[in-house]
C-alpha cells in the first residue's frame, strides 16, 4: 500500500519509535519525584522542552506539553476566553478552522461569548482587511490556522500578527498543526501569543503536542491537579511520547528546508499529472499552499467511491467531503470557498510525507486515471 494520507497522520520515524521504547524502559520515573529516577526523567523532559523551544526560536519556559493539537487548541481558546472574559467576550476566527477550534468557538457561544467566523476567498484564504474590520472594543482573541488541513492554503499569519500589534490587548492564537516543520513560523517575530502543534503530523508519536504560550500570558487551565507544566496542564507527563516528539523535531531539523522542497516537488508532479486527467480539477491554490497537500475533485463522482477505487489499486488517500454524522453533507471548509456542492462532494485530499517517492506519484496518477475511467459511466454529471 502507498500511503498518501500524511495530513491525517504520519508513519512514525523508526528512530522516534526507538526513543519512545527506550524512554519507556529507562526513564520510567515520575519527573516530579525527588529521587534519581525522577531526576533522570526530569532531565529528559527539560531536554525535550529546549529542543521544542529552539525549533520555534522561543524560550523553554514558553513550551507546554499537551496531548496534541486538539488539546492545545482547546487550552488556547478556552484558556483565553475564561481568563479574559471580564475584558470582553468577542472572538474572531475563520470559517475554515479545524473542528478543534471551530467547534470550541461554537461551544464558547453557548457560554455567552460572541464569535465572528470570517469568510475566505475561493482559495480558502482569509483577508487581513476582514480581520481588521471584525475587531471590536470587546475582542479578546483572534484565532487563525496557519495551513488549512483540507486545502493546504497558507493564511497570512505574519500580516495578521503585524495588524494585531496595534491592538496589544487582543491575543493571537495560531493552529500550526499542519504547518510546523513544513513552512517557517516565528511566534516572537510575528507577534503570536499562542501556537498549537501536534507530533503525529511530523512522524512523531500521536497523543502528544505542544502549546507555545508567550511569557507572562495567563490562561485558565483546562485540567487541574498536580500542577505539572507550570500549572497549565496537570497530569503526569507522557514522557516517552514527549521524548519521541523531541526526536521527531530533531529529525525535521536534519532534513530541514530540503525536505519541504522535495515534498513541494512531489505535489508539483501530482498537479502536472492531474491536469492531464479528463474530469479532474484541482481545489488547492496554485500559489501560497503548503508543500504537502493537494485537494482535487472529480465532479460528479462520489469521493468515497473514488477513494475505494484507489485503495483497490493500492493507494490510501482521504476524503473530507462528508462529516460522519451527515452522510451527504459536503465539507464546511470547501463550501466556505464558494465551491459548488457537486465538486465539494467529490473532493479527495492527497498528502505526502517523508517516505513518499516521485515514482509512487507516477503510479498514483496511473491509478487515478484508471479509477476515474472506471467510475465515469456512473457519474452524476
Ligand X SMILES: Cc1ncc(COP(=O)(O)O)c(C=O)c1O
Q: Which is nearer to ligand X, 89 or 98 (CB)?
A: 98
Length of the chain: 381
Nearest distance in Å: CB 283, ligand X: 16
Nearest distance in Å: CB 166, ligand X: 27
Q: Which is nearer to ligand X, 74 or 297 (CB)?
A: 74
Nearest distance in Å: CB 209, ligand X: 5
Catalytic residue among 323, 358, 366, 381: 323
Q: What is the Cα Rg of the chain in Å?
A: 21
Alpha helices by DSSP H, listed for 57-181, are 69-84, 99-110, 128-134, 157-165
Q: Which is nearer to ligand X, 190 or 202 (CB)?
A: 202
29, 209, 221, 353: residue in contact with ligand X (rule CB under 6 A): 209
What DSSP letter does each residue of 209-248 carry, written as one string? EEEEE-TT-----SB-SS-TGGGTB-S---HHHHHHHHHH
69 binds ligand X (CB under 6 A): yes
Phi, psi of 143 (to 5 degrees): -125, 115
Site string for ligand X, 136-165 (x = CB under 6 A): ---------x---x----------------
Q: Using an 8 Å Cβ cutoff, are 317 and 349 in contact?
A: yes
68 binds ligand X (CB under 6 A): yes
Q: Using an 8 Å Cβ cutoff, are 6 and 355 in contact?
A: no
d(CA 131, CA 216): 25
Count of residues that interact with ligand X, criterion CB under 6 A: 13
Query: Is 280 known to be catalytic?
Result: no
Nearest distance in Å: CB 380, ligand X: 29
Contacts of 272 (CB under 8 A, 6+ apart): none
d(CA 344, CA 339): 6
353 binds ligand X (CB under 6 A): no
6, 74, 93, 198: residue in contact with ligand X (rule CB under 6 A): 198
Q: Which is nearer to ligand X, 145 or 243 (CB)?
A: 145
Smallest Cα–Cα separation from 343: which of 375, 371, 321?
321
Q: Which is nearer to ligand X, 68 or 161 (CB)?
A: 68
13, 89, 90, 98: residue in contact with ligand X (rule CB under 6 A): 98
Interface residues with ligand X (CB under 6 A) are: 68-70, 73, 98, 100, 145, 149, 175, 177-178, 198, 209
Amino acid at each position: 500500500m502507498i500511503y498518501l494520507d500524511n495530513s491525517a497522520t504520519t508513519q512514525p520515524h523508526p528512530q522516534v519509535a526507538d526513543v519512545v521504547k527506550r524512554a519507556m524502559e529507562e526513564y520510567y520515573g515520575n519527573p516530579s519525584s525527588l529521587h534519581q529516577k525522577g531526576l533522570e526523567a526530569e532531565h529528559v523532559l527539560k531536554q525535550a522542552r529546549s529542543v521544542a523551544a529552539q525549533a520555534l526560536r522561543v524560550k523553554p519556559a514558553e513550551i507546554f506539553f499537551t496531548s496534541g493539537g486538539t488539546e492545545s487548541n482547546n487550552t488556547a481558546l478556552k484558556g483565553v476566553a475564561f481568563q479574559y472574559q471580564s475584558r470582553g467576550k468577542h472572538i474572531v476566527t475563520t470559517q475554515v478552522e479545524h473542528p478543534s477550534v471551530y467547534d470550541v468557538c461554537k461551544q464558547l457561544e453557548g457560554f455567552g461569548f460572541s464569535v465572528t467566523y470570517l469568510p475566505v476567498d475561493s482559495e480558502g484564504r482569509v483577508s487581513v482587511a476582514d480581520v481588521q474590520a471584525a475587531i471590536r472594543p470587546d475582542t479578546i482573541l483572534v484565532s487563525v490556522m496557519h495551513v488549512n488541513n483540507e486545502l493546504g492554503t497558507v493564511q497570512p499569519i505574519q500580516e495578521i500578527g503585524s495588524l494585531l500589534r496595534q491592538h496589544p490587548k487582543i491575543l493571537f492564537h495560531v493552529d500550526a498543526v499542519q504547518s510546523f516543520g513544513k513552512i517557517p513560523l516565528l511566534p516572537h517575530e510575528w507577534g503570536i501569543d499562542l501556537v498549537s502543534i501536534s507530533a503525529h503530523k511530523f512522524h512523531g508519536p500521536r497523543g502528544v503536542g505542544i502549546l507555545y504560550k508567550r511569557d507572562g500570558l495567563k490562561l485558565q487551565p483546562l485540567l487541574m491537579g498536580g500542577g505539572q507544566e507550570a500549572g497549565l496542564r496537570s497530569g503526569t507527563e507522557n514522557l516517552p511520547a514527549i521524548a519521541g516528539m523531541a526526536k521527531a523535531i530533531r529529525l525535521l531539523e536534519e532534513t530541514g528546508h530540503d525536505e519541504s522542497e522535495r515534498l513541494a516537488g512531489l505535489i508539483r508532479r501530482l498537479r502536472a499529472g492531474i491536469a492531464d486527467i479528463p474530469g479532474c480539477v484541482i481545489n488547492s491554490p496554485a500559489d501560497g499552499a503548503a508543500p504537502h497537500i493537494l485537494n482535487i475533485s472529480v465532479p460528479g463522482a462520489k469521493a468515497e467511491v473514488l477513494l475505494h477505487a484507489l485503495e483497490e489499486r493500492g493507494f490510501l488517500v482521504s476524503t473530507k467531503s462528508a462529516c460522519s454524522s451527515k452522510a451527504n453533507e459536503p465539507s464546511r471548509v470547501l463550501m466556505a470557498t464558494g465551491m459548488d456542492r457537486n465538486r465539494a462532494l467529490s473532493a479527495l485530499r492527497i498528502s505526502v510525507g517523508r517516505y513518499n517517492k516521485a515514482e509512487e506519484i507516477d503510479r498514483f496518477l496511473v491509478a487515478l486515471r484508471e479509477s476515474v475511467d472506471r467510475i465515469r459511466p456512473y457519474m452524476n454529471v
